[in-house]
């Protein structure tokens, strides 16, 4: 996967638990857990916006693009 979720890092920096973020964002704990572990294939902009608002961060703090090895070798 070329997009890496960094939600766990941002949450740790803010000393915020998954339960607290879930309550403040209004997204189910299980869904945030999947985001945190990178086991999602999509995220709604409204959810991303709510997470950024609560964590006082930018989308780029949560999402990171990393080229796959195959992409680097075969441009």
pLDDT tens for the chain, 75 residues long, are 588 999 999 999 999 999 999 999 999 999 999 999 889 989 999 999 999 999 999 999 999 998 877 655 666
Q: Indicate the domain borders of the chain.
A: 3-73
Structure confidence at residue 73 (pLDDT): 62
Structure confidence at residue 34 (pLDDT): 93
Q: Which residues pair with 5 in a beta bridge?
A: 63
Neighbour tally for 62: CB within 10 Å: 21
Cα–Cα distance measured from residue 7 to residue 17, given in angstroms and rounded to the nearest whole number: 11
pTM for this entry: 0.84
Cα–Cα distance measured from residue 16 to residue 46, given in angstroms and rounded to the nearest whole number: 20
Cα–Cα distance measured from residue 29 to residue 34, given in angstroms and rounded to the nearest whole number: 9
Which contiguous run of DSSP H or E holds residue 69? helix 69-73
Out of 3.20.20.140, 3.30.70.100, 1.10.260.40, 3.40.50.970, the CATH code matching 3-73 is: 1.10.260.40
Structure confidence at residue 61 (pLDDT): 97
């Amino acid at each position: 996967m070329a997009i890496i979720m960094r939600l766990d890092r941002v949450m740790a920096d803010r000393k915020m638990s998954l339960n607290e973020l879930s309550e403040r964002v209004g997204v189910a704990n299980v869904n945030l857990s999947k985001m945190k572990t990178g086991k999602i294939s999509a995220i709604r902009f409204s959810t991303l916006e709510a997470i950024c608002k609560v964590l006082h961060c930018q989308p780029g703090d949560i999402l990171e693009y990393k080229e796959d090895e195959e992409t680097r070798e075969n441009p």
